Structure 1
Amino acid sequence: MESATTSAALGVIAGAAPTTASASLASLWDRVFGTQPDPDQWVVFATAAVALAVVVPYRPWRLARNAITIAHEGGHGLVALLTGRRLDGIRLHSDTSGLTVSRGRPTGLGMILTAAAGYTAPPLLGLGGAALLAADHITALLWLATGLLIAMLVMIRNAYGALTVIVTGGTFLLVSWLTGPQVQAAFAYVAVWFLLLGGVRPAFELQAKRRRGGAGDSDADQLSRLTSVPAGMWLFLFHAVSLCSLIGGGRWLLGV
């Protein structure tokens, strides 16, 4: 009788373990992919003001522009892989410049899309982030950003670049794991506003450099050589994508 009782007790414990694990997995799934409450409207406007205060003045922009460079080079790298090119590595530099090296045909659609992906990546990522926030998937946005940064880290080939991506990804991870809904919402809205607003400025900076005779090997100039379309037209495309993303994403964030 004692042996039967012990066996029954072990069966109950064994049966409880999968149930507990399943409950924990379901809880994690709901936490990441479930919806979170909308922040107050003043939070949306306040986070937009914070992002604007980072993007417009030179000194904070000089530091924060590293995040735009991550998105820019990440865009080159992702499209290179999607178009069948071999991605050799990504470098991020302390002057906020970057370099993505891929192998494949030096001409053709894959190379054109890869070259065009840099300046368009930050505003398009901001637009995608705005869509997630409008659907109340705040935590999912933070985890998706963390996943993309981890994937990008594998391809980083210099110490400064690795440090920048680790710090950025670690910040997203800590906020998503350790903070409550209101803090997560405020952080996510700042990040998306920053991508939307910060995605506009680089094209204007490139335009100013080209007007002064610099940036002769910019993405726009490379695209011009690849397609015989004037670099000014590619600049117009960069402006159009960033401004349209800002307008569309801003409307989603503001709920209008």
Structure 2
Amino acid sequence: MDNASITDVWDRVVGSQPDPEQWLVIATGLVALLAVVPHGVWRVSRNAVTIAHEGGHGLIALLSGRRLDGIRLHSDTSGLTVSRGKPHGIGMVLTAAAGYTAPPLLGLGGAWLLAAHHITALLWGATVLLVAMLVMIRNAYGVLTVFLAGGAFLLVSWLTGPEVQAAFAYTVVWFLLLGGVRPVFELQGRRRRERAHGRRFGLPSGDWGGRAPDSDADQLARLTHAPAALWLFLFHAVALCSLIGGGRWLLGL
């Protein structure tokens, strides 16, 4: 590849693209909503949110000085990120808090890029992040999932025209914003069901207390001695504020 070709690619990535029509922005939002609300569809589409969730854990673990051992993604849309370092302290707290906040914050960042007309930059940036994450995946299903996601971004950014790129990028960002809200409600519901289960069998409130012992909120409660409900409130606040702010950017309000 000569210097002129490299310059052309660079200009294509960092340059600005025209805004899509308003109807396309609204249509992509509806498509994303249909990928989040119906339970049957969500069971599949939630894999994308899990990638962002575990990627958030992994990225913050590295940035906070922890050693990232690997990431696993499972077919039931659960995931696991393993890092080494002090079992307490700010690095561990930030790593644990990054999971549920990563999808909506990524969506908010994506909405900012789209509002600044950087559609191609968003697609290429997402591809780079997925390739970096692929290196840390430690199971076959996770490799397949991340490979397919990265391949989709690469193909759309390299082979399609502006309208298709815009439709794909806006759908992805809407999905991250909307899909970042539902997992927090699911976690809250799971904790509520466990609390009801404990009461049903007459277990002491200290043994249950509405906990999902392996959840990020309960891990943060143990790390900080702040109630898990407070961390749930933080997750809700980040997700809903990102959706409102990102939605306004996408709609040009």
Q: For 1:241, which of 214, 238, 243 is the aligned residue?
A: 238
- SS for the counterpart of 2:77 is coil
Aligned to 2:29: 48
Aligned residues: 237
State whether structure 2 residue 168 is matched by structure 1 residue 168: no
The Cα shift of 1:217 comes to 1.4
Residues 73 and 98, structure 1, Cα contact 8 Å, conserved in 2 = yes
Q: Which residue of 1 aligns with 2:131?
A: 150
Q: TM-score by structure 2 length? A: 0.93
Letter in 1 for 2:216: D
Name the residue aligned to 1:78.
Answer: 59
Deviation at 1:24, TM superposition (A): 1.1
CA distance, structure 2, for counterparts of residue 84 and residue 181 of structure 1: 39
Is residue 113 from structure 1 mapped to residue 94 from structure 2 by the alignment?
yes
Q: Distance in 2 between matches of 1:80 and 1:241?
A: 19
State the secondary structure of the residue aligned to 2:137: coil
Distance (whole Å) between structure 2 residues aligned to residue 215 and residue 54 of structure 1: 26
1:99 to 76, 80, 89: 80
Unaligned runs of 5+ in 2: 195-210
Deviations 1:48-75 (A, max 9, x none): 0000011000011110000000000000
1:218 aligns with 2:236: no
Percent of aligned positions that are identical: 77
For 1:65, which of 46, 51, 67 is the aligned residue?
46
Structure 2 residue 71 is matched with structure 1 residue 90: yes
Letter in 2 for 1:135: A
Note if contact 1:210-1:216 (Cα within 8 Å) is conserved in structure 2: no
Residues 51 and 193, structure 1, Cα contact 8 Å, conserved in 2: yes
**1:196 Cα deviation after fit:** 0.1
Q: TM-score, normalised by structure 1?
A: 0.92
Of the structure 1 ranges 205-214 and 62-71, higher mean CA displacement relative to structure 2 is found in: 205-214
Paired AA for residue 170 in structure 1: G
Q: CA deviation at 1:215?
A: 2.5
- The 1-side partners of 2:7 and 2:127 are apart by 21
Q: Does 1:27 align with 2:5?
A: no
Which amino acid in 2 is paired with 1:64?
A: S
2: CA distance, partners of 1:162 / 1:212:
33
2:82 match: secondary structure: strand
1:250 aligns with 2:240: no
Unpaired runs of 5+ in structure 1?
A: 1-19
Tell me how far apart the structure 2 counterparts of residues 160 and 69 of structure 1 sit (CA, whole Å): 13
Residue 128 of structure 1 corresponds to 109
**Alpha-carbon distance in 2 for matches of 1:235, 1:221:** 9
Cα shift at 1:23: 1.6
What amino acid sits opposite 1:244 in the alignment?
Answer: C
Q: Secondary structure at the match of 1:136?
A: coil
Please give the alpha-carbon distance, in whole angstroms, between the structure 2 residues aligned to 1:114 and 1:92.
17
Q: Which residue of 1 aligns with 2:228?
A: 231
Contact 1:91 1:99 in 2 (8 A): yes
What's the offset of the Cα at 1:21?
1.8
Query: Would you say the 8 A contact 1:79–1:113 is kept in 2?
Result: yes
**Whole-Å separation in 2 of the counterparts to 1:161 and 1:181:** 30
Contact between 1:87 and 1:103, CA under 8 Å: does it hold in 2?
yes
Moved segments of 4+, more than 3 Å: none
Distance 1:86 1:21 in 2: 38
Shift of 1:25: 1.3
Does the 8 A contact of 1:120 with 1:242 survive in 2? yes
Post-superposition CA distance 1:180-230 (Å, at most 9, x none): 000000000000000000000000000000001162210000000000000
* DSSP-derived class of the 1:212 partner: helix
> Which one-letter code corresponds to 1:134 in the other structure?
A
